[in-house]
Structure 1
Amino acid sequence: MQNQTLIQYFHWYYNEEQTLWVKVKNEAENLGQLGFTKVWLPPAYKASGGGYSVGYDAYDLFDLGEFDQKGSVPTKYGSKAEFLEAVNALRDNGVGTLADVVFNHKAGADELEQVKVRKVDPENRNEFISDEFEIQAWTKFTFPGRGDTYSSFIWDHQCFSGVDWAEDTQEDAIFSIQNQYGDKWEEVVSEEHGNYDYLMYADIDFRNPAVREELKYWGKWMHETCGLVGFRLDAVKHISHHFFNEWIDFMQNNAGDELFIVGENWEINSAEELQSYIDRTEGRMQLFDSLLHLNFHEAAKQGNQFDLQTIFDNTLVQLSPNLAVTLVDNHDTQPLQALESYVDYWFRPIAYSIILLREQGIPCVFYPDVYGAKYEEDGQFIELNHVEELPELLRLRKEKAYGLQRDYFDHPNCVGFTREGDTEHDNSGLAVVISNGDEGIKRMEMGEHFAGQIFIDALQKRTEEVEIGADGFADFYCAAGSVSVWVLK
């Protein structure tokens, strides 16, 4: 079986001449050849920003660029027909599609409602700082451009637990909606700000059974309409994990084939917090390993002062490797974003060798590392270069990175690991040496079945040929501040 490899096929500032869905269709064959098995696409439905929105200000989940709403028919990425053509092209090339799902909130309501609320302390959301009073809030969604096509469900204030804007008083605050399902926030895993249920816009209330049923109905409709293989779930730490347990069980039971589901629970402190979420959802979803990304960021900043022996400390891939989706960067960490923590260019090939060639975790490659990116915001111009070594590293993952793994994380500046290959993949097996300081040498075991065989550096950083000894060991090299991947000549 081929190793699973994901790609996040967008970045926050995607601005190329081709709309994204057209580009996906045109690149589908290339993506399959590179070794990608799944493509995570950005939100495909209409957002409150219409044709300009990245998509996380979700408005109408049923409008995949089909109806004239929010100032446009298509989304930023194209029309519904183009989206379906892109998904079909990927499938024809052996690549599945993951849809991005924003369930936490809705934005761009169509009508105002008179709503009973209490203000809360933004730093401690559990503390009310006002008595109950009424405001005019944007909480009614009737979708006049779509009508009752696909669904006749009307969202009103009983579907939401909070808002951040009072239209009548023009006040910006966090208002807890006092509805029939509760006068406080829902139970969520994150205790930041006391309770981090409220994030933005009109916060969906999953205590309302009609809301839960509508979102299950939408998930089934989306899966069947588009032929998806899974979902990427946005902002899961702000949403009741009880709802996700119910929703995922429903989706898996209706899917036929098992769906691949990965959640974004962006944690910056503790792998135990990510593990706690996995425990509460009983392993129903994968999680992105934000902490490994932050280790990469720190390692790149510190250079040879970073102890490479600690690169996996306090990471999800260390605690729950079977449920970790590993990454180097994403749309939230790229330059000019709120969570900016972009991994310096010199370290990116090292980071990719770690997530692509090791046994633990399922890697997710970031779009600019394949294609590059240029964008500008507020007078700042950013250019992200593609990672030259990435196509070869992807090929090595597809063809070579199999079999028993042996680790040699035994030096602060030079570490390595080997994969001894297997019988299912011809000529598989490799040895990886990484240095964040001077040029390195590492004696490592490939296995006696390689005795007398010659290995070369697939990345062409070193020109030596290495012969495997009778005991299965050899000395492998890498250049200063670099990575070399040794494979059969």
Structure 2
Amino acid sequence: MKKQVLNGVKLLVFCILLSCNDREAIQAPVSDRIATDPYYNDSISNTNSQQRNPGPGGGVMMQAFYWDVPAGGNWYNTVKSKLASWDAAGISAIWLPPVSKAMNGPYSMGYDPSDYFDLGEYNQNGSVETRFGSKAELISLINTAHNYDIQVYADIVLNHNSGGQSESNPFTGTSTYTDFNPASGKFYRSASDFHPNNIVGYDEGVFGGFPDLSHSVPYVQDWLWNRSDGVGKYYKNVIGFDGWRFDYVKGFGGWVVREWNNNVGGFSVGEYWDGNAQKLQDWVNSTNRTSSAFDFACYYKMEEAFDGNDLTKLNGDMLWKRDAQKAVTFVANHDTDEIYDKMHAYAYIFTHEGYPTLFYKDYEEWLDKNKLNNLIWIHRNLATGNTSILYADNDEYIARRNGSPGVVVYLNDSNQWTERWIQTNWSNTIIKDYTGNSNWEPTTQGDQWVKIQCPPNSYSIWSVK
């Protein structure tokens, strides 16, 4: 959505983890260890083994852009230059901005789509390349990502179009900017392809006054997801995208995403911008569960908890608690960046259920990359099983992942060290804090209870040594 200016290896990993009691390298930055420590590799003798086996905890997505990335057509090359280090850190997928030529050509972030088939190769709207680069550079980026077994997700804007010419509109009795004559020669559009038309007057939502694409029109359906040379199948089968981030899905019915996914395939996540977990669940269900959704309910609860110094807010309703397999969690994105206490938030999403997303600026510029790499490794290798919340008050929050090996995460929002007795899933077992924030290595009792600690304004994450 546009920025709101408008306002196999599982068993092997487990065995190695349980047998290597004296291995202290875990507390070093992940990026410094992968090449030399066999713990971080599998039986595939290949630098890409991290992605071929994302670990029992699952993968991590990187939002590989932010609002107003540098113009000039070099962003694809910038992202491409990051892939080796992102692979080493454990990133398993990247999400790119909209790749098609938009109304504002070289200056557009892509959310005003004009020609879905101009990926930076036709001279229209003021440029050949898009803001991010050329079609050839895009394909090179995707191919390089695939060489690292990193998936690539496209940002798909289906609700609205922009940049059409004025025409007489028989459905409104006025002139509207609905005459699209793309230089690619594909998917011409006219007034009959937008709302209102002779099939339906409107759908779920109009955005920003742009012409509102009508997905009820068979011609539109054909060009978006049915045709073998249509948008979806061209992006997937020719360009090489592995999945989709659907923009502003409040603007059309969930059936649209369902039809796209059933006909095109690939991973799917929708931007249903709402802090109500029930509404997020309803939208996922409306796609016949073919799509995940960004967990805005989790996002806003984290903001209340960490910025409001009330960790009891984490007891609130979130999509991951209802439907963990369909929840994509995040701390910031190109549209909204409201959480100030980000490290607590990342510690939360990397230790809880859901598919966690890293924001480019957080990782590359604003936060401690070594700490984020550590959390990525913990997520992928230790954070398994369902979640039990063990304790929560204004300053402290403790939760347990009940898988094998599983973790206990301790969040402390106070200005002093805290300690607490908690029940684990481990009997008579030495545990350690895999963040290195505590040097304790306590042994759990026969009844699985143990005392753990957490530094002030920080977090600790415990698992078997």
TM > 0.5: yes
Alignment partner of 2:300: what SS?
A: helix
**Given that residues 305 and 312 in structure 2 are in contact (C-alpha distance below 8 angstroms), is that contact kept between their aligned partners in structure 1?**
no
Aligned to 1:302: 308
The superposition leaves residues 186-214 of structure 1 with CA deviations (integer Å, 9 ceiling, x where unpaired) of: 2x3xxxxxxx3454311101121101111
Q: How does 1:373-392 map to 2 (within 5 A)?
A: 384-385=366-367, 389-392=371-374
Q: Indicate the structure with greater helix content.
A: 2
Task: In structure 1, give the amino acid aligned to 2:64.
Answer: Y
Task: In structure 2, give the amino acid aligned to 1:49.
Answer: N
Following superposition, the deviation at residue 397 of structure 1 comes to 1.4
Could you tell me which runs of 5 or more consecutive residues in structure 1 were left unpaired when the two chains were aligned: 119-133, 162-176, 189-195, 253-258, 335-341, 373-383, 423-427
The answer as to 2:349 corresponding to 1:355 is yes
> What is the aligned residue count?
405
Task: In structure 2, give the amino acid aligned to 1:35.
Answer: G
Structure 1 residues 319, 199: CA separation in 2 closer, same or farther (over 3 Å shift)?
farther
Task: In structure 1, give the amino acid aligned to 2:348.
Answer: I
Q: Taking structure 1 as the reference length, what is the TM-score of the superposition?
A: 0.78
Aligned to 2:248: 235
Quick one: distance in 1 between partners of 2:451 and 2:85? 36
**Identity between Structure 1 and Structure 2 (%):** 27
CA RMSD across the alignment: 2.2
Structure 1 residues 67, 87: CA separation in 2 closer, same or farther (over 3 Å shift)?
same
Structure 1 residues 485, 197: CA separation in 2 closer, same or farther (over 3 Å shift)?
same
Task: In structure 1, give the amino acid aligned to 2:319.
Answer: L
Runs of 4+ in 1 over 6 A off after TM superposition: none
The answer as to 2:168 corresponding to 1:114 is yes
The answer as to 2:377 corresponding to 1:343 is no
Aligned to 2:175: 136
Following superposition, the deviation at residue 33 of structure 1 comes to 1.7
Aligned to 2:34: none
Aligned to 1:320: 323
Following superposition, the deviation at residue 317 of structure 1 comes to 1.5
Aligned to 1:245: 258
Following superposition, the deviation at residue 246 of structure 1 comes to 2.0
Aligned to 1:260: 267
The answer as to 2:117 corresponding to 1:88 is no
**Given that residues 72 and 106 in structure 2 are in contact (C-alpha distance below 8 angstroms), is that contact kept between their aligned partners in structure 1?**
no
Quick one: distance in 1 between partners of 2:335 and 2:222? 30
**Given that residues 206 and 240 in structure 1 are in contact (C-alpha distance below 8 angstroms), is that contact kept between their aligned partners in structure 2?**
no
Work out which of the residue numbers 206, 211, 215 in structure 1 matches 2:215. Answer: 206
The answer as to 2:454 corresponding to 1:415 is no
Following superposition, the deviation at residue 261 of structure 1 comes to 0.5
Quick one: distance in 1 between partners of 2:157 and 2:288? 21
- After TM superposition, the structure 1 stretch with the greater mean CA deviation from structure 2, 60-69 or 315-324, is 315-324
Aligned to 1:185: 202
Quick one: distance in 2 between partners of 1:138 and 1:17? 28
Quick one: distance in 2 between partners of 1:69 and 1:443? 65
Aligned to 1:433: 410
Aligned to 2:38: none
Quick one: distance in 2 between partners of 1:15 and 1:225? 27
Q: Taking structure 2 as the reference length, what is the TM-score of the superposition?
A: 0.81
Alignment partner of 2:279: what SS?
A: helix
Task: In structure 2, give the amino acid aligned to 1:219.
Answer: G
Quick one: distance in 1 between partners of 2:319 and 2:429? 38
Alignment partner of 1:105: what SS?
A: coil
Aligned to 1:380: none
Q: How does 1:452-463 map to 2 (within 5 A)?
A: 452-455=429-432, 457-463=433-439
**Given that residues 75 and 133 in structure 2 are in contact (C-alpha distance below 8 angstroms), is that contact kept between their aligned partners in structure 1?**
yes
Structure 1 residues 226, 409: CA separation in 2 closer, same or farther (over 3 Å shift)?
farther
Structure 1 residues 16, 44: CA separation in 2 closer, same or farther (over 3 Å shift)?
closer
The superposition leaves residues 204-231 of structure 1 with CA deviations (integer Å, 9 ceiling, x where unpaired) of: 0112110111111210111011222211
Following superposition, the deviation at residue 117 of structure 1 comes to 5.5
Task: In structure 2, give the amino acid aligned to 1:142.
Answer: N
Following superposition, the deviation at residue 65 of structure 1 comes to 0.8
Task: In structure 2, give the amino acid aligned to 1:362.
Answer: Y
The superposition leaves residues 345-368 of structure 1 with CA deviations (integer Å, 9 ceiling, x where unpaired) of: xx211111111112x211111111
Between 1 and 2, higher relative CO (CA 8 Å, sep ≥ 6) is seen in 2
The superposition leaves residues 2-54 of structure 1 with CA deviations (integer Å, 9 ceiling, x where unpaired) of: 21211111111223899221122222122122111111111111111111111
Alignment partner of 1:409: what SS?
A: strand
Quick one: distance in 1 between partners of 2:218 and 2:137? 34
Aligned to 2:423: 445
Quick one: distance in 2 between partners of 1:421 and 1:311? 21
Structure 1 residues 271, 444: CA separation in 2 closer, same or farther (over 3 Å shift)?
same
Quick one: distance in 1 between partners of 2:171 and 2:403? 62
**Given that residues 412 and 418 in structure 2 are in contact (C-alpha distance below 8 angstroms), is that contact kept between their aligned partners in structure 1?**
yes
Quick one: distance in 1 between partners of 2:282 and 2:358? 26
Structure 1 residues 312, 39: CA separation in 2 closer, same or farther (over 3 Å shift)?
farther
**Given that residues 58 and 105 in structure 1 are in contact (C-alpha distance below 8 angstroms), is that contact kept between their aligned partners in structure 2?**
yes
Q: How does 1:470-485 map to 2 (within 5 A)?
A: 470-485=446-461
**Given that residues 100 and 233 in structure 1 are in contact (C-alpha distance below 8 angstroms), is that contact kept between their aligned partners in structure 2?**
yes
Following superposition, the deviation at residue 413 of structure 1 comes to 2.4
Task: In structure 2, give the amino acid aligned to 1:266.
Answer: W
**Given that residues 397 and 411 in structure 2 are in contact (C-alpha distance below 8 angstroms), is that contact kept between their aligned partners in structure 1?**
yes
